[in-house]
């Protein structure tokens, strides 16, 4: 039992060290002066942003609208019963903008793009595409990892703010059918409740979630060795670890910023 | 540069082998060395050592005047740009066409756009009989075609050293002739050093400057084709052929 615990602890530290090394390599590639491969990497970054960001807009819109409708309807109908009409803005900011917006966006990105990245890289590893790239003198950290991390971080950041906007505004429009609160009152309440800290914390979450998801998914994809059966195993593991680490990061940021 | 490839007292464990591989080999620049021998004899291992995919426990591996053990990632990456490699799995990017696969090394290393490389890529594809397949994806190719594309990709940067694992595997007779012609042309123009492994007889062996017979992780016999064909050692005989070259 003690041996098992010790092994798990060592494995956990090794895993975190590997992820940290991947983050370091990505940052180094991002700031290193070498020009070789820049254009090719930029092309990969744009393609990944198109898939992770632009292609995700319909599903993000749908989920944001539904969440906004639920939260705004509940807040708008329940709070007046207890005399808390004035708290509608606060509830929306706390629930949607601070917490559920970033988290649900991260889960959508993990489900759509994170799994796709792990599967793609895993299949590339088995088909020896990664080895072939290395043999051409193409740096994996520059051509494979860095573009994906940059693209996922930027996409995550934009998607979170998009999610928040759609959830708050779209949710209000849909909920307007049942609510009696006029839009300007609603907008004013939200604007008053929203502080610069909220915006900065949301942005920080976007950067941290994006980095974590991309690095974890790349790491698991590149960890596939020689068999196609490893690909779904690594994909599942990447998904679970991404969700867990995003939740841990969320706690860390929330506690640091608001506690 | 005295040697394009120098394996000095190299010793390392062989996968699935009882004895460790022990290799000593020098290849002068511009030489065409054919490595023949049975499966799992260590031919591919020699190629992997030369390109830094395998590391030895003892000894030194020097390629194009660089000691591989002393290179960092960046230096190894720079060295690999001077080496063309075709491994047994061709390793083509599955989401790229034949054309973009072949152009990829130039695009990555020089920043030139894919569209501007037709004059450089298409002649190589034509020489290998692949011009009609330029917009195909790797999944639409036969095994032999995919290997030819991998060869085209390895040659596109005009490497100083070409390493090919199982050159003729999966190729039909016409494709073998095209590949032979192309390699000899590249060798003549670029003075390219070639290390090519083969595990079945081929007319290409007669074109090699030297033939090394590898078995059990050791180079058992090495010499010119004529010398070896005259007095073939028992195990080497099946690899030599009297089929005339093109």
- The verdict on a CB contact (< 8 Å) between B108 and A135 is no
Q: Give the pLDDT confidence of A115-174 residue by residue, as tens digits.
A: 999 999 999 999 999 999 999 999 999 999 999 999 999 999 999 999 999 998 877 776
Measured CA to CA, the distance from residue A244 to residue A205 in angstroms comes to 14
Q: Is the pLDDT of residue A198 over 60?
A: yes
Question: In Å, what is the CA distance from A34 to each residue of A46, A142, B83, B110, B123?
Answer: 20, 10, 20, 12, 31
B106 and A CB contact within 8 Å: no
- The verdict on a CB contact (< 8 Å) between A37 and B51 is no
Q: Which of B51, B60, B45, B114 is nearest to B79 (CA)?
A: B51
**Which pLDDT value is given to residue B125?**
95
B23 and A CB contact within 8 Å: no
Q: Residue ranges of the domains in chain A?
A: 2-258
Distance to chain A for B230, nearest Cα, Å? 38
Q: Give the pLDDT confidence of B163-207 residue by residue, as tens digits.
A: 999 888 888 888 888 998 999 988 888 889 999 998 777 777 888
For chain B, list the domains and their CATH numbers: 1-82+162-171+192-237 (3.40.50.300)
**Which pLDDT value is given to residue A204?**
95
pLDDT confidence tier of residue A33, bands split at 50, 70 and 90:
low
Give the residue-averaged pLDDT of A45-51: 96
Q: Following CA atoms A27, A33, A37, A38 in sequence, which dihedral angle do they give, to the nearest 10 degrees? A: 80
**Which pLDDT value is given to residue A36?**
80
Q: Contact at 8 Å (CB) between B58 and B24?
A: no
Question: In Å, what is the CA distance from A8 to each residue of A1, A14, A176, A233, A248?
Answer: 11, 10, 52, 18, 19
Which positions in chain B touch A134 (Cβ < 8 Å)?
80
Measured CA to CA, the distance from residue B58 to residue B9 in angstroms comes to 7
**Which pLDDT value is given to residue B119?**
92
Measured CA to CA, the distance from residue A7 to residue A11 in angstroms comes to 6
**Which pLDDT value is given to residue B245?**
46
Model ipTM value = 0.89
Q: Is the pLDDT of residue A70 over 80?
A: yes
Q: Following CA atoms B85, B88, B93, B98 in sequence, which dihedral angle do they give, to the nearest 10 degrees? A: 80
Pull the structure tokens for residue A220: 């698991």
Question: Which residues in chain B come in under a pLDDT of 50?
Answer: 243-246
**Which pLDDT value is given to residue B242?**
54
Distance to chain A for B51, nearest Cα, Å? 7
**Contact partners, residue B182, CB within 8 Å, separation at least 6:** B124, B127, B128, B151, B155
Q: Is the pLDDT of residue A195 over 70?
A: yes
**Which pLDDT value is given to residue B152?**
95
**Which pLDDT value is given to residue B246?**
47
**Which pLDDT value is given to residue A31?**
86
Query: Would you list which residues of chain A are within 8 Å, Cβ to Cβ, of chain B?
Result: 34-40, 123-124, 127-129, 131-139, 143
Q: Give the pLDDT confidence of A158-190 residue by residue, as tens digits.
A: 999 999 999 988 777 766 776 777 778 778 888
Task: Give the one of B74, B91, B107 whose C-beta lies nearest to A129's C-beta.
Answer: B91
Q: Which comes out higher in pLDDT, residue B18 or A96?
A: A96
């Amino acid at each position: 039992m003690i041996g098992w615990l010790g092994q798990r602890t060592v494995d956990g530290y090794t895993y975190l060290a590997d992820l940290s090394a991947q983050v370091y390599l990505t940052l180094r590639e991002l700031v290193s002066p070498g020009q070789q491969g820049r254009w090719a990497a930029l092309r990969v970054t744009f393609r990944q942003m198109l898939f992770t960001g632009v292609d995700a807009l319909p599903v993000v819109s749908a989920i944001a609208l539904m969440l906004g409708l639920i939260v705004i309807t509940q807040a708008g109908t329940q709070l007046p019963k207890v005399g808390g009409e004035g708290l509608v803005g606060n509830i929306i900011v706390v629930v949607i903008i601070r917490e559920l917006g970033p988290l649900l966006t991260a889960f959508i990105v993990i489900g759509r793009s994170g799994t796709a990245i792990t599967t793609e890289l895993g299949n590339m590893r088995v088909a020896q595409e990664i080895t072939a790239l290395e043999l051409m003198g193409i740096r994996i950290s520059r051509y494979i990892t860095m573009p994906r991390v940059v693209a996922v971080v930027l996409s995550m950041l934009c998607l979170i703010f998009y999610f928040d906007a759609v959830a708050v505004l779209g949710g209000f429009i849909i909920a307007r059918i049942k609510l009696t609160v006029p839009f300007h009152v609603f907008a004013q309440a939200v604007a008053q409740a929203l502080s610069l800290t909220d915006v900065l914390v949301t942005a920080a979450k976007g950067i941290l979630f994006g980095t974590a998801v991309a690095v974890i998914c790349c790491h698991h994809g590149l960890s596939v060795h020689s068999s196609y059966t490893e690909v779904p195993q690594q994909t599942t593991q990447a998904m679970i670890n991404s969700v867990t680490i995003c939740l841990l990061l969320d706690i860390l940021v929330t506690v640091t910023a608001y506690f | 540069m005295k040697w394009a490839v120098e394996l000095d007292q190299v010793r390392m464990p062989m996968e699935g082998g009882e004895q460790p591989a022990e290799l000593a080999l020098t290849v002068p620049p511009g030489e065409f060395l054919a490595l023949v021998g049975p499966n799992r004899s260590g031919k591919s291992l020699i190629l992997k050592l030369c390109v830094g995919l395998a590391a030895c426990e003892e000894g030194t591996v020097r390629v194009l005047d660089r000691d591989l053990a002393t290179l960092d990632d960046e230096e190894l990456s720079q060295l690999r740009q001077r080496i063309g490699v075709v491994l047994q799995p061709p390793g083509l990017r599955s989401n790229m066409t034949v054309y973009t696969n072949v152009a990829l090394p130039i695009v990555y290393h020089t920043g030139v756009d894919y569209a501007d490389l037709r004059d450089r890529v298409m002649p190589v594809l034509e020489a290998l009989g692949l011009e009609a397949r330029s917009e195909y994806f790797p999944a639409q190719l036969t095994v032999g075609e995919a290997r030819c594309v991998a060869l085209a990709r390895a040659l596109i940067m005009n490497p100083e050293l070409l390493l090919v694992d199982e050159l003729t595997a999966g190729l039909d007779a016409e494709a073998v002739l095209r590949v032979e012609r192309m390699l000899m042309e590249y060798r003549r123009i670029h003075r390219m050093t070639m290390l090519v492994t083969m595990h079945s007889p081929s007319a290409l062996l007669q074109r090699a400057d030297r033939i090394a017979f590898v078995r059990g992780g050791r180079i058992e016999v090495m010499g010119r084709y004529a010398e070896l064909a005259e007095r073939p050692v028992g195990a080497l005989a099946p690899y030599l052929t009297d089929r005339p070259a093109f």
